[in-house]
Amino acid sequence: MKEVLRPLWQLTASQASTLMQQGRLSSEQYVRACLDRIAEREPQVKAWAHVDADTALAQARACDAQPRRSALHGIPVGLKDVIRSFDQPTRFNSPIYANHRPNEDAHSAEVLRLHGAVILGKLQTLEFACGGQFPPTCNPWDLARTPGGSSSGSGAAVADGMVPLALGTQTGGSTIRPAAFCGAVGMKPTWGRIPFDGIKSFAAHLDTVGLFARSADDLALLLEAYALLETEPPGVPPLRQLKLAVCRTPLWAQAEAVAQYAFAAFLERLRAAGVQLSELAWPEELAAINTWQDEVMQDGGRSAFLPELLKAPELLHQDFKNKLSNHLQLTPAGMRLALDRIAQARMTFESAMGDADAVIGLSAPGPAPLGLHSQGMATFNRLWTALQVPCISLPLLWSPEGLPMGLQLIHRRYEDHRLVTVARTLESALYEERHPWN
């Protein structure tokens, strides 16, 4: 009963879902609570590109009138504004698309809607999830700090209690980074498992749908909707038999002292809890992986933004024109080299994981930096995006001033289910609830 005594908007999706199943909460009540939270906080946080209370409440009432379709039935979800939705604008934070209203849902949005989810609204993004214009979004923990990007609104809205679940994307660090900076739970599933249909693309080898929630249990709800849970339960051992491989990556020196310190202290907690820790040393010859990732990402932009260059060059930010003009002077041979080294790194990494139940590292080099015209660094994201492996950021590390920093969990490709199970184990043992509103 204690959940219902808290403001309804504080419920996680799983908690709300249980209450709805028991007939103690309606979708309309829950959605209304989220809309109230948005009304209260949005003037400061600026997470939303579009919310239309009438459209959201109409969906909620329709859900309440129908038989429950899944655990997501009646649960509100926000969409990063590069993900199409048939009943709301999709603007990519680009002036070219100021009046853009596609009449279809993206695959990732439609699947949630077909499970009964309510599409609450569209969340702020860096222009085309890529560059150019920054969103106005602030970090709910400290309005002077960036929420991280490019899924800025998704991270901020979920962490701030405006919506329990959201979708984003990741091509560099666009899901794990804002999840870490905002203290949300974020997941980048294995590349390609959730189709990118209906989302503005940036770089085909890297573009991945991202998931945002306030608990690992809620991530599991989303994975279930996308049919990413295997039929065989993965059988992850309990905390004190868990084997985790610590991967500092070749870029550890770029982590801030506070992050290194919090990570080391967290490892001590894990050891004290009986977790077996090993070291996963990143092979010397793969040290340049972030450079290869960047080449693949920049090359993607050469074709992704061609329509915008052709139809409205005057409204396209210079960042995109640079990509289109191949300012890095990428060559066919250079692209093959980058892609093949990444392919080799994938095999090397996954083999080096050995019998570990997951790999752990930092989600970001530190807490959210000050200023809204930066997204922070994607140092500890680009390599995993390049490897196409599933990653989860959990709010288990904190700076001395109380800002969230993410612990990142990584697994082999296609082990999304296992990874979520490890995240649930860690969360249930080691997470103490901390929210911007506490």
Residues in contact with a copy of itself by the rule CB under 8 A? 101-104, 107, 110-111, 114-115, 191-197, 199-201, 204-205, 226-228, 230-231, 300, 302-304, 306-307, 310-311, 324, 326, 332-333, 335-336, 339-340, 343-344, 346-347, 350, 412-415
In sequence order, which ranges of 92-243 are alpha helices (DSSP H)?
A: 107-114, 152-159, 176-182, 216-225
CB of 150 to a copy of itself, least distance (A): 17
CB of 25 to a copy of itself, least distance (A): 24
**DSSP state, 311?**
H
C-alpha 93 chain-centroid distance: 18
* CB-nearer residue toward a copy of itself: 344 or 374: 344
Distances in Å between the alpha carbon of 409 and those of 45, 81, 85, 303, 332? 28, 26, 30, 32, 34
CB of 83 to a copy of itself, least distance (A): 12
Sign of CA dihedral 323, 328, 332, 334: negative
Whether 150 is a known active-site residue: answer yes
CB of 191 to a copy of itself, least distance (A): 7
- Angle at 412 (CA atoms; ends 217, 111), nearest 5 degrees: 50
Catalytic residue among 150, 151, 152, 393: 150
* CB-nearer residue toward a copy of itself: 268 or 340: 340
Q: Which of 343, 422, 385, 1 is nearest to 172 (CA)?
A: 385
Whether 85 is a known active-site residue: answer no
CB of 162 to a copy of itself, least distance (A): 27
CB of 350 to a copy of itself, least distance (A): 7
CA dihedral 188, 193, 197, 198 (to 10 degrees): -30
The strand pairing partners of 359, in sequence order, are 245, 410
Catalytic residue among 14, 17, 46, 80: 80
Q: Which of 295, 315, 294, 291 is nearest to 305 (CA)?
A: 315
Catalytic residue among 27, 108, 152, 174: 174
If DSSP codes are grouped into helix, strand and coil, which group holds residue 220? helix
* CB-nearer residue toward a copy of itself: 324 or 396: 324
CB of 116 to a copy of itself, least distance (A): 10
* CB-nearer residue toward a copy of itself: 181 or 191: 191
Contacts with 411 (C-beta within 8 Å, 6 or more apart), sequence order: 353, 358, 359, 389, 390, 418, 419, 422
Distances in Å between the alpha carbon of 186 and those of 156, 177, 202, 209, 235? 11, 9, 20, 11, 22
The strand pairing partners of 416, in sequence order, are none
Tokens 């655990």, residue located: 71
Residue 114 CA to residue 215 CA, distance in Å, equals 22
- Angle at 433 (CA atoms; ends 427, 435), nearest 5 degrees: 125
In sequence order, which ranges of 169-255 are alpha helices (DSSP H)?
A: 176-182, 216-225
Contact 315, 92 (CB under 8 A): no
The strand pairing partners of 210, in sequence order, are 168
CB of 114 to a copy of itself, least distance (A): 4
* CB-nearer residue toward a copy of itself: 245 or 405: 245
Whether 122 is a known active-site residue: answer no
Catalytic residues: 80, 150, 174
